[in-house]
Structure 1
Amino acid sequence: MNLSIFFEPLNEDIFASLNKPRTLGSYISRFVSKFPDWRTADIAILGINDTRGRGTSETEEAATAEAPARLVRKKLYSLNKGAGRCHIVDLGNLRPGISLDDTYLRLKEIVEVLISHNTIPIIIGGSQDLEYGQYLGYEHLDRVVNMVTVDSSVDMTEDPDAAPNKKQLRQILMHEPNYLFSLGQIGYQSYLVEPEVMGTLEKMHFEAYRVGQVHTNVQEMEPVVRVADLLTFDISAIRHQDAPACEPANPFGLTGEEACQLCWYAGLNDNLTSLGIYEYVPALDQRELTAMTVATMLWYFIEGFYHRKHEKDFSSRHFNKYAVAFADDNPDRMTFYKSKNSEKWWMEVEPLNSDNGSRIIPCSYEDYLQATKGEVPNRWILTQARIG
């Protein structure tokens, strides 16, 4: 497939001074005059300058026409490359469709093609509703997928007059065919979310974690991220001090360090096949602080990717298996697996319906300890409710 017809080439003058030895800029093959060979790449970067999902007028669009990925690229390319191999391409900026729906469909096609060739797209947007197009790229897989979103709010409003970037999660949940198995929401702030929305997540047995829970123990977010096939990140989830270029400004939220930690977890995740970072507004980034924060997040994601352990065979000698029995009068037991290489934990969830197969899902050491005390981890309960 000729993907180049969907993209606008980059201006090489912007990056002329960023090809210093050992920096990422000297290792990333980018679309300037010749479209890079994305079929053999590990990761493909693409920008999307479509912010119509914010509900802005055409005049406001023209005033903020600078591609959001431009400044991020400048910062990312200037960072030193980590140890090991690096095969990354930059496809340029996706040409927006005539309508917002057209852009979703273009993004769907791009994501679908890339992940079918085992190339991970990194999407730099653009309004958060573009994650709907990212999600649509998984429709061809003929299997259920897991999604994790990092956001200060939960974009599921039923208000018909709301901007598209306030209701894309509802679009995803209502989409037919329905291939979403789980949704994890990280970093939401209770005063920004309607109680009815949280009630909906609870009824659907999805996981949601307040920003305070991330502050308390960011390591407990690792199993949440590890289950994801796709992850999306709204810049508004990060506090204004570390990422001021979003609208509206948010004085509270994740720290830049926590955002980087989550991206590191995402990179390490063997199952994750796409990453989207949205709602960056270049016009508000006067000192380019947000661009640097996003670039650093991407650096950690890339580093995480090249440190993947490819741990999927739980019957291999690389795993220890633990069976936790409950009270003497209860014949049930829970099975846990621990990797000898990464020391990460998984647990096997048995279905309520014997016709459905069991699932082995990521968990934490705390889940194992909870089971040894005779308590069933909440993560196990939610997964069992979903598989039936």
Structure 2
Amino acid sequence: MPKYKPTKANIYSGRASDQELYLHEKISCANISDLSTNTDTKSIALLGYECDEGVKLNLGRPGAVNGPDAIRKQLAKLPNHLTTKTHFYDAGNVRHGKGKLGDTQALLSEKVSELLKAGVFPIVLGGGHDMAYGTYNGIKMAKDGATIGIINFDAHFDLRSNINGSNSGTPFYQIAEDCKANNLPFHYLCMGIRQDANDSSLFQTAKNLEVIYIQRDTFRIEFHNEINAWINAFIKNVDLVYVTIDLDGFSSAYAPGVSAPSPMGFTPDVVLESLKTITHSGKLAAVDIAEMNPIYDVDNQTARLAASLIHGIIHAH
């Protein structure tokens, strides 16, 4: 059975100051049940998804189970520019252990929902991209009735059928099926799609589900004005936005430590530019970062990339 466990504070270390100049000095480790709603301050929390079972089932490279702590260690060292009125928490980990992947996704949903109901902005650290099904349902549980738009930075659609079971390649198909069963719209924008990373059946599924996507050859910083226009048009039609970042969408020059690396991925600058547009919309409900695999990382490069993305998000939020 999956378990929820708090994070040990000793994972956070770095250069010391007496002014909270660094994030390891700002962050507090807390149990989600101890967090209470406070409308006078902003609260942000990290939540780990220690699971690579979905990656294994999808025939990817195992190792992402240790992704959350690898990201934490790099984030700890970064400078803190949050205001004194902003609370920054580490809310612990959902760990797969043994059992069904669906049980772990359900526990993640429960914890994401608890954070949102407490007025805390969640950033989930993974772990396989099957986490997306858990994060999305956590938002859905907490924000009942809201129209949720998914923006996925990824080389893959992750729209494989789960008829033979769920895995890291099925989360958005599962969400689409749930939306269909409940007569709800499926709003999905995927940026960075590669033709060499998705077979023709996946492109057909995307067409059938009316998925909006931007292919890798267009998802480049020189087209950021057009990309931002697509993002704004997408956001206009939803109440809330859920952003999910699959690190294997980046070129392996920037992110070698992932479950499915490729030199043909996108670059960090276009993702950072897109994230600015999304955060400025005021509709961002939650973020997760998937497929961090420290076994294959080089000089912590991928973990540093993930940490820098989080650094930008928390300060923009």
Counterpart of 1:73 in structure 2 is 72
Look up the SS of the partner of 1:46 in the other structure. Answer: strand
Counterpart of 1:272 in structure 2 is 284
Q: Is the 8 A contact 1:153 1:189 kept in 2?
A: yes
TM-score (norm 1): 0.69
Give, in whole Å, the separation in 2 of the partners of 1:65 and 1:151: 16
Say which of 259, 269, 276 aligns to 1:247.
259
Work out the number of aligned pairs and report it: 296
Counterpart of 2:137 in structure 1 is 136
Q: Give, in angstroms, the shift of residue 123 of structure 1.
A: 0.4
Counterpart of 1:22 in structure 2 is 21
Q: Is the 8 A contact 2:125 2:288 kept in 1?
A: yes
Q: Give, in angstroms, the shift of residue 6 of structure 1.
A: 5.7
Q: Is the 8 A contact 1:38 1:44 kept in 2?
A: no
Is residue 2:85 matched to residue 1:92? no
The higher-RCO structure (CA 8 Å, 6+ apart) is 2
Is residue 2:175 matched to residue 1:172? yes
Give, in whole Å, the separation in 1 of the partners of 2:147 and 2:191: 21
Is residue 2:102 matched to residue 1:101? yes
Q: Give, in angstroms, the shift of residue 286 of structure 1.
A: 3.7
Letter in 2 for 1:148: I
Q: Please list, as runs of the form range in 1=range in 2, the aligned pairs for 1:42-57 lying within 5 A after superposition.
A: 42-55=43-56
Is residue 2:195 matched to residue 1:190? yes
Look up the SS of the partner of 1:39 in the other structure. Answer: coil
Deviation digits for residues 286-344 of structure 1, max 9, x if unmatched?
41000100000011111211xxxxxxxxxxxxxxxxxxxxxxxxxxxxxxxxxxxxxxx
Look up the SS of the partner of 2:123 in the other structure. Answer: strand
Give, in whole Å, the separation in 1 of the partners of 2:3 and 2:36: 14
Is residue 2:288 matched to residue 1:281? no
Give, in whole Å, the separation in 2 of the partners of 1:95 and 1:264: 31
Letter in 1 for 2:35: D
Give, in whole Å, the separation in 1 of the partners of 2:111 and 2:160: 28
Give, in whole Å, the separation in 1 of the partners of 2:28 and 2:201: 47
Q: Is the 8 A contact 1:104 1:133 kept in 2?
A: yes
The structure with the larger Rg is 1
Q: Give, in angstroms, the shift of residue 240 of structure 1.
A: 0.4
Look up the SS of the partner of 2:37 in the other structure. Answer: helix
Unaligned ranges ≥5, structure 2: none
Give, in whole Å, the separation in 1 of the partners of 2:300 and 2:9: 20
Letter in 2 for 1:26: E
Give, in whole Å, the separation in 2 of the partners of 1:66 and 1:233: 16
Give, in whole Å, the separation in 1 of the partners of 2:64 and 2:169: 21
Q: Is the 8 A contact 2:255 2:261 kept in 1?
A: no
Give, in whole Å, the separation in 1 of the partners of 2:184 and 2:147: 4
Counterpart of 1:118 in structure 2 is 119
Counterpart of 1:37 in structure 2 is 35
Deviation digits for residues 73-129 of structure 1, max 9, x if unmatched?
121121112264532111122233632111111111112222233321100011101
Q: Please list, as runs of the form range in 1=range in 2, the aligned pairs for 1:276-315 lying within 5 A after superposition.
A: 276-305=288-317
Is residue 2:228 matched to residue 1:222? yes
Q: Please list, as runs of the form range in 1=range in 2, the aligned pairs for 1:355-370 lying within 5 A after superposition.
A: none
Q: Is the 8 A contact 2:257 2:292 kept in 1?
A: yes
Q: Is the 8 A contact 1:266 1:301 kept in 2?
A: no
Letter in 2 for 1:13: N
Deviation digits for residues 325-369 of structure 1, max 9, x if unmatched?
xxxxxxxxxxxxxxxxxxxxxxxxxxxxxxxxxxxxxxxxxxxxx
Unaligned ranges ≥5, structure 1: 306-388
Look up the SS of the partner of 1:214 in the other structure. Answer: coil
Q: Is the 8 A contact 1:265 1:304 kept in 2?
A: no
